[in-house]
Structure 1
Amino acid sequence: MGERTTITTKDGSFSAYVARPQAASAPAVVVIQEIFGVNQVMRDITDGLAAQGYLAICPDLFWRIEPGIDITDQSEAEWKRAFELFNAFDVDAGVKDIAATIAEIRKDPGCSGKVGAVGFCLGGLLAFLTATRTDADAAVSYYGVGIEGRVAEAEKLARPLLLHIAEEDQFVPKEAQKVILQALKDHPNIEIHTYPGRDHAFARVGGEHYNEADARLAGGRTLQFFKKTLG
């Protein structure tokens, strides 16, 4: 079972869900939410990372709009609300909140020092920006939406970044994928995997486009990447 913690910034305070591993000291991973808030899917991912030996934390990045958003992808009304939140969200402020989360979890007595990040959907874009704008030791982006408009930021990238791209992603069209791959494929710090036939959120358990085999493949690659980069 996870616990709740509060992170305080100069703009205000927000909550985060924390799951602890059995080890007294471990690397930390910040789990960056989709457009549905810190819901059961995100808490399960956070718990799963703790089970793999990481101190995992999932901050409520929608707190500036409305704290405590916890919705699913199972109804039309929830999708409508999710896109309202997505459109109201301030990406730059979100990255600052992730930086504050990294600083907070680094100070935790259970953190061995290194901190990674993994994000999905909106969180996939934020994971990319976490890699370029914060002192995270490593970051993983799952089907990030909007990366194609920010590829120039990769010039600032000094730490390892892993990208998972769904080749049939309805929110990241082929042209956008082409821009991302062309700009980033030769970057020394970036590893990219594409998933043929997969749509957006292929790793979201219970989602419409969930694919167990490729979710497992991407998850294995993510854990291998964290093992290599976070120790």
Structure 2
Amino acid sequence: MSERVHVPTESGEMPAQLWLPAAGTGPGIVLCQEIFGLSPYVVQRAEDLAALGYVVLAPEFFWRLGVSTVSEQDGGLERGIALANQLDWPLTVRDGVAAVQWLRERDEVTGPVGLLGFCFGGGLAFNVAAKEPVSALVSYYGSALPMLLELAPRVTAPSLHHFGTADSFIDQESVAKVRAAVTASPATVFHEYEGADHAFDNPDLPWHHPDASVLAWDRTVAFLQEHLPVGS
């Protein structure tokens, strides 16, 4: 079960959901939502991370627009994109920084703090990591990454990136540019998944690729255990 919490920001309190592991304490992860907000899929991944032993904070980054979740059905993608386009991106990044700082100060967080994001959240997490030091970054098909490559030298945390080779939203030329920029850091791991589309990890979308999803999650778990070890 999650707890509804509020993260102080420069312009008010941002709603968020907080999950604790069975032990009650552990390393922290700020989970950055996909374009659909805190969708059932994002909630499931938060629960998965908590089951691994992490304290997980999932901010509602559409909070200034009065939205927590966007239905994935019946034009939901278009609504999610429209909401994302209404955001003040620098302000949203500062919200992400505030979330990392807030989580780091929680008594339940007894280890380092990392970032993990999907789609919209993958790019956002990358940008936050360029502003606020973290111990690990995992980005799934970060949709904003092609526009953020000048920030790559400022992302000093070990990072893991996942992209599909059949991404309908990020062309392969852009993926190649992302790969070249982020792997300039020796602490970066970059994986591409043959035949996988955008959002391949989300089982509630038509682009779900079961094999890529399982493999990417296994790699994510191993990466987190290396850089955000539980019980150390």
TM-score, normalised to structure 2's length? 0.94
- Name the structure 1 match of 2:226: 228
- Name the structure 2 match of 1:122: 120
Distance in structure 2 (CA, Å) of the matches to 1:188 and 1:46: 28
Q: Deviations over 1:151-183 (max 9, x none)?
A: 121111221111001111111111211211222
Tell me the CA shift for residue 88 of structure 1: 0.9
Q: Secondary structure at the match of 1:124?
A: helix
Distance in structure 2 (CA, Å) of the matches to 1:192 and 1:59: 26
Distance in structure 2 (CA, Å) of the matches to 1:209 and 1:151: 26
Tell me the CA shift for residue 188 of structure 1: 1.1
Between Structure 1 and Structure 2, how many residues are aligned? 229
Distance in structure 1 (CA, Å) of the matches to 2:77 and 2:184: 36
- Name the structure 1 match of 2:64: 64
Distance in structure 2 (CA, Å) of the matches to 1:63 and 1:43: 17
Tell me the CA shift for residue 79 of structure 1: 2.2
Cα-Cα RMSD: 1.3
C-alpha contact (below 8 Å) 2:162/2:192 kept by paired residues: yes
Q: Which segments of structure 1 move beyond 6 Å, counting only runs of 4 or more? A: none
Code of the residue aligned with 1:108 in structure 2: it is R
Aligned partner of 1:170 among 168, 171, 176: 168
Tell me the CA shift for residue 57 of structure 1: 0.9
- Name the structure 2 match of 1:152: 150
C-alpha contact (below 8 Å) 1:27/1:111 kept by paired residues: yes
C-alpha contact (below 8 Å) 1:142/1:163 kept by paired residues: yes
Unaligned runs of 5+ in 1: none
Matches for 1:1-231 after TM superposition, within 5 Å? 1-66=1-66, 68-76=67-75, 78-231=76-229
Unaligned runs of 5+ in 2: none
Distance in structure 2 (CA, Å) of the matches to 1:24 and 1:182: 40
Distance in structure 2 (CA, Å) of the matches to 1:101 and 1:186: 27
Distance in structure 2 (CA, Å) of the matches to 1:27 and 1:73: 31
Code of the residue aligned with 1:34 in structure 2: it is E
Tell me the CA shift for residue 185 of structure 1: 2.7
TM-score, normalised to structure 1's length? 0.94
Tell me the CA shift for residue 198 of structure 1: 0.5
Identity %: 32
Distance in structure 2 (CA, Å) of the matches to 1:44 and 1:143: 18
C-alpha contact (below 8 Å) 2:7/2:102 kept by paired residues: yes
